[in-house]
A and B are shown apart, each in its own frame.
Chain A
Amino acid sequence: MNKLLARLMPNNPGRAVVIGVPYLWLVLFFLLPFLIVLKISVSEMNVGQPPFKPLTEMVDNFLNIRVYLGNFISLFDVANDDLYARTYLSSLKYAAWTTIFCLVIGFPFAYFMARARPTIRPALLMLVMMPFWTSFLLRVYAWKAILTTNGVFNQILIGLGIIGEPLHMLHTPFSLMIGMVYVYLPFMILPLYANLVKLDGRLLEAAADLGATPWQRFWLVTVPLSKSGIIAGSMLVFIPCVGEFVIPELLGGPETLMIGRVLWDELFSNNDWPRAAAVAVVTILLIIVPLAIFNKYQAESQGERT
């Protein structure tokens, strides 16, 4: 604790303020709300206001603390109801696929952007960020119009004579993946680009000089040296994808279970706040694990660079 204080309060008070503000922000808007959610998640459901029972109670001068674990237990009670387990797995699955697709599409994208002439790089970067200028919701709705049964995509395919009957694409895993990859692609491209643009071209030349074919150069030099970019991009895509709600709601269907929708249902349809809170807590834990690995790697590669 003293160490922490010493770090936070160096001789220079100005520095302490500058460092302290983001800490305060994080405590106020992330840690505190999380603790509240955590508290609700170990409460019992209550019909009425508030919709959960208090944790503490005075009975005969005893202060009873009642930590209710039923919400968590029911989440993992596969024998009784495996909806939650299935949903978590399927959320992780869709998030993982989205990450993989974004990586496969985004890497060449970022690579050629980084290799483009320096004069046109800002323009290319602008193009990648352009979708952010339009509302996220509008863009996802646009995909609905494109993918629906008599939508643009089907009409084009029929017009070209490739298919006779319109395909059922909307509200399938296919449409969900399209929407997720489309929305999250820039989050993959930007860190990858930032990383690849710094890649020293002479290292590739050195590899070529030592007999590495273009393919070997890519796998032995480019990929290992852009590892931190790949990890950063993957985290930026994977983490929000796990809890994504809007895209599965609009583009997904009954088969595409995602935890965000389950949470929504618990909270707004069943009005079961404690269970919704438990779902949220487990989701956060699921995400914290990869994040911790990422942090550890970052710290290591930071040390490598000095």
Chain B
Amino acid sequence: MSESSSGTAASAPAAAGGANKTAADARFLRIENLVKEFDSVVAVDKVSIDIRKGEIFALLGSSGCGKSTLLRMLAGFETPTSGRILLDGRDIAQIPPYERPINMMFQSYALFPHLSVWDNVAFGLRRAGLPKDQVADQVEKMLGLVQLKQFAKRKPHQLSGGQQQRVALARSLAKRPQLLLLDEPLGALDKKLRERTQLELVGIIESVGVTCVMVTHDQEEAMTMASRIAIMSEGRILQIGAPAEIYETPNCRFVADFIGNVNLFKGKVVEDAADHVIVDTPECRHYVGHGITGTEGMEVSVAIRPEKIRITRERPGGAHDGFNCVEAEVADLAYLGSYTIYHLKLATGLLVKASIASVERLPDWQPTWGDKVFASWDEYAMVVLTQ
């Protein structure tokens, strides 16, 4: 990707300069070394992210990690302690919230209780001084988009949670913002409705084509909705990547642990080659089929996802006999329909989780409580974490 670009490239016609345009699009929203301190608490700590034009970007992290604070700085409700925010090449730090081309959908919607659905959606358009007929057109369009036309006259408290959520979405999209911010967009909905709404929301956002930054602490929601995810912890960004990238190649123990389930084996690197490493842990020797940036003798963790573990009755043979295999006892199991989770107790006392998909309806053999089994995995199933 070309780094040479000019700030005006994004507004130039598409044919004018393909490379420049894509470069500018790739950092449509640029967050540079953003810091926010509250008294002594550092809520956001040197965060830098580039967000592409038109993508849905998710900030994912546990409660109190600074997601909302970061989002509120984008909206203009908090002033950064230091750092810059560039939207389409323009520094927006000094622009008050009511002049930013950015709209936000609030965590609990913050719909105006004294205004009807129609007036809620029209609120922003009226402030922009649009003529009456244009306001009406745009409101009708937005209500159509979220399928709430028949509720236009109702007050927010006369709507269900899901309907309120859609009013909030319509209201934040009505002014055609350059950037849409969603703070826990589905946090107030129950689980079933949430799953249905996730894809619906993505559909609406993509049909409008707006760039979107969302905040969530629900990893499933982030993975379903976002094209890229940033994992946050204690105000810092730990990793940015596509959902699959973050799941399959987490770059540190926190991310591995935070996204999905993971088994961690702590040990030392005993052999460090270009195409493989061997890690010794008290439980077993690991043959890892890729190189790492590290040295022999280094303390590392080997991470293995539960679904990548096989359970067999006999010790499996194969290319790397003696590696990547442990003897274990089934301590517990939970049948969850599409898969079964096994808790395997190793000789060292470590508990390993394995999930086995229910591929066959009535398999020949199923491990059960107290069974002595072998758990094994292949050389590409592991990620070596150095942090």
Interface residues of A (CB under 8 A from B): 200, 202-203, 205-213, 216, 220-221, 224-225, 227, 304-306
Stretch at the interface among B6-14, B98-106, B199-207, B377-385: B98-106
CB pair A305–B157 under 8 Å, yes or no, is: yes
Q: Which residues of B contact A224 (CB under 8 A)?
A: 114
Q: Which residues of A contact B312 (CB under 8 A)?
A: none
Specify the chain A residue showing the minimal Cβ separation from B97: A208
User: What's the nearest-Cβ distance from chain A to residue B174, in Å?
Assistant: 8
CB pair B77–A205 under 8 Å, yes or no, is: yes
Q: Which of B75, B77, B110, B175 has the most CB of A within 10 A?
A: B110
30 A-B pairs within 8 Å (CB atoms) are namely A202-B107, A203-B112, A206-B104, A206-B110, A206-B111, A207-B112, A208-B76, A208-B77, A209-B75, A209-B97, A209-B102, A209-B103, A209-B172, A210-B98, A210-B103, A210-B123, A210-B124, A210-B127, A210-B175, A211-B124, A211-B128, A212-B98, A212-B123, A216-B127, A220-B123, A224-B114, A225-B113, A227-B114, A304-B113, A305-B157
- Interface of A: prevailing SS: helix
CB pair A210–B171 under 8 Å, yes or no, is: yes
Given contacts A209-B104, A211-B128, A212-B98, contact A202 B110 (CB under 8 A): yes
Q: Which residues of B contact A209 (CB under 8 A)?
A: 75-77, 97-98, 102-104, 172
- Distance in angstroms between the alpha carbons of A224 and B123 in the assembled complex: 14
Q: Which residues of B contact A213 (CB under 8 A)?
A: 98, 127
- Distance in angstroms between the alpha carbons of A211 and B101 in the assembled complex: 9
User: What's the nearest-Cβ distance from chain A to residue B132, in Å?
Assistant: 17
Instruction: Mark B106-149 against chain A: 1 for CB-CB distance below 8 A, else 0.
Output: 11101111100000000110011000000000000000000000
Q: Which residues of A contact B157 (CB under 8 A)?
A: 304-306
Q: Which residues of B contact A305 (CB under 8 A)?
A: 157
Q: Which of A208, A220, A225 has the most CB of B within 10 A?
A: A208
B308 within 8 A of A: no
A-B pair number, CB within 8 angstroms = 64
CB pair B98–A200 under 8 Å, yes or no, is: no
Q: Given A203-B110, A205-B110, A210-B175, 8 other A-B contacts at CB below 8 A?
A: A202-B107, A202-B108, A202-B110, A203-B113, A205-B106, A212-B123, A213-B127, A304-B113
- Distance in angstroms between the alpha carbons of A224 and B113 in the assembled complex: 10
Specify the chain B residue showing the minimal Cβ separation from A223: B114
- Distance in angstroms between the alpha carbons of A273 and B278 in the assembled complex: 109
Chain B residues 152-200 with CB under 8 Å of chain A are 155, 157, 171-172, 175
Given contacts A210-B175, A211-B124, A211-B175, contact A205 B113 (CB under 8 A): no
User: What's the nearest-Cβ distance from chain A to residue B171, in Å?
Assistant: 7
Q: Which residues of A contact B108 (CB under 8 A)?
A: 202
Residue in B96, B99, B106, B171 whose beta carbon sits within 8 Å of that of A202 in the complex = B106
Specify the chain A residue showing the minimal Cβ separation from B100: A209
Specify the chain B residue showing the minimal Cβ separation from A216: B127
Q: Which residues of B contact A203 (CB under 8 A)?
A: 110, 112-113
Specify the chain A residue showing the minimal Cβ separation from B122: A210
Specify the chain B residue showing the minimal Cβ separation from A201: B110
User: What's the nearest-Cβ distance from chain B to residue A205, in Å?
Assistant: 6
Given contacts A205-B110, A206-B106, A224-B114, contact A212 B77 (CB under 8 A): no
CB pair B98–A211 under 8 Å, yes or no, is: yes
Given contacts A211-B124, A211-B128, contact A205 B97 (CB under 8 A): yes
CB pair A207–B155 under 8 Å, yes or no, is: no
- Distance in angstroms between the alpha carbons of A306 and B108 in the assembled complex: 18
Q: Which residues of B contact A221 (CB under 8 A)?
A: 112
CB pair B127–A211 under 8 Å, yes or no, is: yes
CB pair B110–A200 under 8 Å, yes or no, is: yes
Given contacts A206-B112, A208-B98, contact A304 B175 (CB under 8 A): no
Q: Which residues of B contact A211 (CB under 8 A)?
A: 98-99, 124, 127-128, 175
Specify the chain B residue showing the minimal Cβ separation from A210: B124
Q: Which of A202, A205, A207, A209 has the most CB of B within 10 A?
A: A209
Q: Which residues of A contact B106 (CB under 8 A)?
A: 202, 205-206
- Distance in angstroms between the alpha carbons of A305 and B156 in the assembled complex: 10
User: What's the nearest-Cβ distance from chain B to residue A212, in Å?
Assistant: 5
Q: Which residues of A contact B128 (CB under 8 A)?
A: 211
Specify the chain B residue showing the minimal Cβ separation from A227: B114
- Distance in angstroms between the alpha carbons of A306 and B155 in the assembled complex: 12
Residue in B103, B114, B123 whose beta carbon sits within 8 Å of that of A225 in the complex = B114
CB pair B127–A212 under 8 Å, yes or no, is: yes
Q: Which residues of A contact B96 (CB under 8 A)?
A: 208
Q: Which residues of A contact B112 (CB under 8 A)?
A: 203, 206-207, 221
4 smallest beta-carbon distances between A and B, as pairs: A210-B124, A211-B127, A206-B110, A202-B110
Q: Which residues of A contact B123 (CB under 8 A)?
A: 207, 210, 212, 220
User: What's the nearest-Cβ distance from chain B to residue A139, in Å?
Assistant: 38
- Distance in angstroms between the alpha carbons of A109 and B124 in the assembled complex: 29
Specify the chain B residue showing the minimal Cβ separation from A209: B104
- Distance in angstroms between the alpha carbons of A39 and B97 in the assembled complex: 64
Q: Which residues of A contact B103 (CB under 8 A)?
A: 209-210
Q: Which residues of B contact A207 (CB under 8 A)?
A: 112, 123
- Distance in angstroms between the alpha carbons of A206 and B97 in the assembled complex: 10
- Distance in angstroms between the alpha carbons of A220 and B111 in the assembled complex: 13
- Distance in angstroms between the alpha carbons of A304 and B157 in the assembled complex: 8
User: What's the nearest-Cβ distance from chain A to residue B213, in Å?
Assistant: 14
Q: Which residues of A contact B75 (CB under 8 A)?
A: 205, 209
- Distance in angstroms between the alpha carbons of A96 and B108 in the assembled complex: 40
